[in-house]
Amino acid sequence: MIKFCVRLVQRWLPEPFIFAILLTLVAAVLAMPICRQTPVEVLEHWGGGVWNLLAFAMQMALVLVCGSTLAAAPSIKRGIAALARVPKTPPAAIALVTVVSAIACWLNWGFGLIVGVIFAKAIARQMQGVDYRLLIASAYSGFVVWHAGLSGSIPLTMATPGEALVTATNGALTAPVPVGQTILDPHNLVMVLLVIVAITVVNSLMHPKQDAVTVDPQALADGTDQSDQPNLPAQSDATPAQRLEHSRVLAWLPALLLLAYLVLRLGFGGGTLDLGAVIMLFLALGLLLHGTPVAYVRAFGKAATGASGIILQFPFYAGIMGIITGVGASGICMGTVLADACIRISNPTTYPLLTFLCAAVLNLFVPSGGGHWAIQAPIMFTAGADLGVDPGLTGTAIAWGDAWTNLIQPFWALPALAIARLSAKDIMGYCLIDLFVSGVIICGGLLVWAL
């Protein structure tokens, strides 16, 4: 079964950029008959949406580059290398990578997405016989729990009071839904635990007993060894500019300012550890640990080459979102059609499950929690209220659906793949197995929660 899934993906899954182009064509072709939109309307929706993810694309590029630069600091590399020596067998290494990635993603998705793959690469440098493709797939598989975790955008939006919440849900939510009814609800926590345990066991069992695909440790070198760090010329020969470039004060000062701001914002301002805060934390720690501005700049420049996929593909996914959410002269958008179809065949018990499946399908075209909120919140919460379904359950079902099909959607894998120097087809066959296993648990958990 594993070999079949791997061969299937290797044969049929194209480069992520091609996948984005194909999804664009599919969305455009479907929008015309389903939503009765003209080709001109579809083109306008696509072109109008292309630049809507610019800010988010920049954040994703920065979390990738700043996270990689931090991991390249000599002290961090030594710490990761020490932890990577803990597992003694390839299956144990796969299991440890899965657990570390999943817990980190549950705590904060941006942090977990980078930490898991960096840890996996460290293990691959030291352990012989471990399958590198499965190792990276295991690091990415932990991402499936992110939207059920502490940085889940939909549960956190539901917990935020204000007129925006009422407007977004068409008046279905007039008061915030606390995280105790979503993220920290016992049903959700049990589902998270079961999914982590299941994918950990499955990933470790998937490791081949022979013919593992390994890599030369030298091929994983990031080019930022301590011996490559720039040295200051002799004091008598150093120019004023060189002294500034090697000044620890000029590296530590902005780092301390960033950390002070984060303490002020998170500790006293009631802020949350969102993606922007994670980037600032990576940047501050990277400056501190690299020690000098010139060392950080050189490590940052080497890490930046991995962001090319994000820069290229995010505008296309923004265009797909424009098609899915665009409303033509008919007054219908494709996201609404999908949600309405789910509602028509639902009852109070099956509604959360069908909401989850609806979000899972929509996620293939709109891989964004914010996009799901904009499309589904006005419809799903109103219908859920009419059926008597708890709003916390409805929101959690949407969140799980948004996260589940990320296992086969290359959009979120781009940062991990850039660090690992692999393509999507190298890991998605293993992730397909995790999709089946986690899907059974999530579907069962939502049905039990609805009883």
Where are the domains positioned within the chain? 2-225+244-450
Closest CA to 124 of 428, 429, 430, 422: 422
Band (106; pLDDT cuts 50, 70, 90): very high
pTM: 0.82
Q: Is 415 exposed, middle or buried (0-12, 13-18, 19+ CB in 10 A)?
A: buried
pLDDT of residue 55: 84
Neighbours of 448 (CB within 10 A): 11
Question: For residues 281 and 111, what is the distance between their CA atoms, to the nearest angstrom?
Answer: 10
Predicted pLDDT of residue 86? 92
Average pLDDT over residues 196-222: 85
DSSP tag of 264: I
Considering the chain, what percentage of its residues have pLDDT values greater than 70?
Answer: 95
Q: What mean pLDDT value characterizes the chain?
A: 87
Residue (of 444, 443, 403) closest to 106 by Cα position: 403
φ/ψ bin of 101: left (φ > 0), alpha (ψ from -120 to 50), beta (otherwise)? alpha
- pLDDT over 50 (residue 226): no
Find the length of the chain.
451
Q: What is the pLDDT of residues 343-377, one digit of tens each?
A: 888 889 999 999 999 899 888 888 877 777 877 88
What is the reported pLDDT for 225?
A: 46
Check residue 144 and give its pLDDT.
96
Lowest mean pLDDT segment, chosen from 63-77, 275-289, 322-336: 322-336
- Percent of the chain at pLDDT exceeding 90: 37
Of 192-206, 309-323, 328-342, 380-394, the one with minimum mean pLDDT is: 328-342
Rounded average pLDDT over 64-88: 86
